[in-house]
Structure 1
Amino acid sequence: MSVNNIKDSKVLKDIKEIIPGFIVALVVGLISMILANIVPNVGAATISIFLGMFVGNIFLGQEVFQKGYKFSETDLLSYSIVLLGATLSISTLMDLGFNAVLFVILQMSVTIVGALYIGKKLGFGDNFRYLMAAGNAVCGSSAIAATAPVIDADDKDKGIVITIVNVTGIFLMFLLPFLAGKLYNHETVQTSALIGSTLQSVGQVVASGAMVNQPVKDLSTIFKIVRVVLLVAVVFLFGYLKNKSNVDIIEEEVKDAKGGTVKVPWYVLGFFITCILFSTNIISPDISAFCKQLSNKFEVIALAAIGLKVNIKHLIKQGKAVSLYGLFVGTLQVVAAIILIGILL
């Protein structure tokens, strides 16, 4: 069998494994869009998450669906973010201003220092603490996967940290919109800063922002993208802390889970490219409107997949020390964000 035939066979196999879960996420997403017309105050995004959690935990949580759920969550959400760029001008990004970027950097710094300190007090090893700091400060599972090879973390630590970081993010995903309503009356910049600077994954940011309104969802995603852009700096920081000072060793070991060199995620680059195209009028208003609609639909399907992947039993089974670690770091992030918002925004 030729190399091309082997590759084609693998692609077909991957597609077949993705289809079952993708179809479930698609159906849940479409039902959510229909229900949103009946209860517009709730919104398709919120409905899709809860409906996904119900379907995934009661009926369709089997392994055969998981690859499709993962594709729907990660790939569709990435495409949604790229399409979002086609609806925002450079001036919108510039409107964030120096204070907003400084806010994100300080929030990430507090998270990293706090996660390392809390983990040490709770008796966790260096690798576990570095993974917790990276996952919470930057972008959840992606940051953990990028950091693990640099610090020689084992798969067990990586798996536990990914679980607890996502669990923390799920709770905060529902808490922050409520908290922002009480503190800021859902004012767009402050609410977006709280959500975009705190939640662990891009999906959680989009979901939480969408529970408030469209402007908050869009702006909180931009706050999150600023964090994601800083992923490389965080990975090299932990490589340095592990005394990997030899440049050749760092370059060899800074790999993501697929073995590629760690770099800014493709969807961030895509976001900025489509943003530039829209800002220079290469993307017309009509095309921009179409991109907006398509982005929203991809987003709802992706959020359905996030709900479908939530395993409530796993949330309950987390060990006490690990759960406390996640609770303390999550609390620190929220408190730090509120203080910094009061000072800078």
Structure 2
Amino acid sequence: MIKLIKDIIPGLLVCFFLALIAIYTGKFIPTLGPAPLAIFLGLIAGNTFFTNSIYEKGSKFSEGDLLAYSIVLLGGTLSITEIFKLGLSGIVFIILQMIGTIAITLYIGGKLNFSKKFKILMASGNAVCGSSAIGATSPVINAEDNDKGLSITIVNLTGTLLMFLLIPIAKYFFQMDLHKTSALLGGILQSVGQVIAAGSMVNDHVLEMATLFKLVRVIFLVFVVTWISKKYNNLASKEIVTDTEIFLEKETYKKRNKKLGIPWYIIGFFILCVLFTLKLIPMELSKIFKFIAGKFELIALVGIGMRVKIKKLISQGPKATLYGLLVGASQIILAITLIKLLKI
């Protein structure tokens, strides 16, 4: 435990101090704000001065654990009635957008001759929740580390680009309408952190509703991974030559399926959300939750930026980057079409 904490500290400290710089600098650039600055600073730092592996566990902790804690705390600031504002059309939009994204990603990946495992990782990452979805899908199909690392890099880079691109698109097509803009951001962007960053560049109302759209997407992670485990379980099998190996392979597969479920931070979010709705969380405490959640989010955004490795993208050539950009463009077209058809 002590060793784990020591391993996390270097990268976590870098993320913390860069988040402070983003907060300070954001005061002088109010139109941009600290959230996108945090990602930019992390991107620059992670590809220049802090490339040593010593910072990896800390940036990963910031990107994953701290962001999860911030999501839980966010539940203590929202009433359950806010979730109902998504409406039936909002839920249908999320489902159709996810199904469409998976189908499009697999199709484009096939045309570009990528491996089946890499296509599946890209599909789950883009459709649900970026790195978290890729992490949940990887053991189900026994994905190689190279495929996992590259898919996380491409998905994070695509999401970072879309984070800035979607706002002018929302302004052009929807005149920054609250529901439509929130659906666009929450229905497309790959990670919760990117949704939070993009929403904060618009206003607090869009930030909250876009995050709700995104969290509902994350809830569907269990269905996506379960579907992948049933449809592609043959990809997880290895060459088996003895009865013992057959037994071990079956046990491993059972363990994988037992691990599938709704992420703990989503459950925590809804528990605090219910408590806040029942007025069991005082407003003073709710304000503290919001303050801490905001700071955790910024540190997490730095971590997201630090984990986008430009060298890895260059080493893989333009083909993988093209894949991500084509998927991102397709997601935008699909989302705009669905938002208009469903009259969100």
SS in 2 for 1:300: helix
Match of 1:79 in 2: 69
Match of 1:310 in 2: 308
**What is the deviation of 1:212?**
2.1
Match of 2:10 in 1: 20
SS in 2 for 1:58: coil
Aligned pair 1:339/2:329, yes or no? Answer: no
Q: Which residue identity does 1:326 align to in structure 2?
A: G
Aligned pair 1:214/2:212, yes or no? Answer: no
**What is the deviation of 1:304?**
2.1
How far apart, in 2, do the equivalents of 1:141 and 1:300 lie?
17
Match of 1:35 in 2: 25
SS in 1 for 2:262: coil
**What is the deviation of 1:149?**
2.4
**What is the deviation of 1:242?**
2.3
TM-score normalized with structure 1 length: 0.88
Pick one of 82, 91, 100 that aligns with 2:90. Answer: 100
Q: In angstroms, what is the RMSD of aligned CA positions?
A: 2.2
Q: Which residue identity does 1:327 align to in structure 2?
A: L
Aligned pair 1:192/2:185, yes or no? Answer: no
CA offsets, 1:178-237, max 9 Å, x none? 322222232221111111111112222222222222222221111111111111111121
Is residue 48–residue 301 contact of structure 1 (8 Å, CA) maintained in 2?
A: yes
Match of 2:290 in 1: 292
Q: Which residue identity does 1:160 align to in structure 2?
A: L
How far apart, in 2, do the equivalents of 1:201 and 1:69 lie?
15
Aligned pair 1:167/2:157, yes or no? Answer: yes
Is residue 149–residue 255 contact of structure 1 (8 Å, CA) maintained in 2?
A: no
**What is the deviation of 1:77?**
1.0
Is residue 226–residue 260 contact of structure 2 (8 Å, CA) maintained in 1?
A: no
Match of 2:215 in 1: 225
Percent identical residues: 50
Unaligned ranges ≥5, structure 1 = 1-10
Is residue 173–residue 207 contact of structure 1 (8 Å, CA) maintained in 2?
A: yes
Match of 1:3 in 2: none
**What is the deviation of 1:144?**
1.7
Pick one of 328, 331, 342 that aligns with 1:330. Answer: 328
Match of 2:243 in 1: none
Unaligned ranges ≥5, structure 2 = 235-246
Match of 2:81 in 1: 91
Indicate the larger mover: 130-139 or 52-61: 52-61
CA offsets, 1:162-184, max 9 Å, x none? 22222222221221123222222
Is residue 156–residue 304 contact of structure 2 (8 Å, CA) maintained in 1?
A: no
SS in 2 for 1:163: helix
Distance 1:27 1:320, change over 3 A: closer
Matched length = 330
Q: Which residue identity does 1:130 align to in structure 2?
A: I
Q: Which residue identity does 2:214 align to in structure 1?
A: K
**What is the deviation of 1:13?**
0.6
Match of 2:237 in 1: none
How far apart, in 1, do the equivalents of 2:46 and 2:115 lie?
34
Match of 1:253 in 2: 253
Q: Which runs of 4+ in 1 moved over 4 A?
A: 248-252
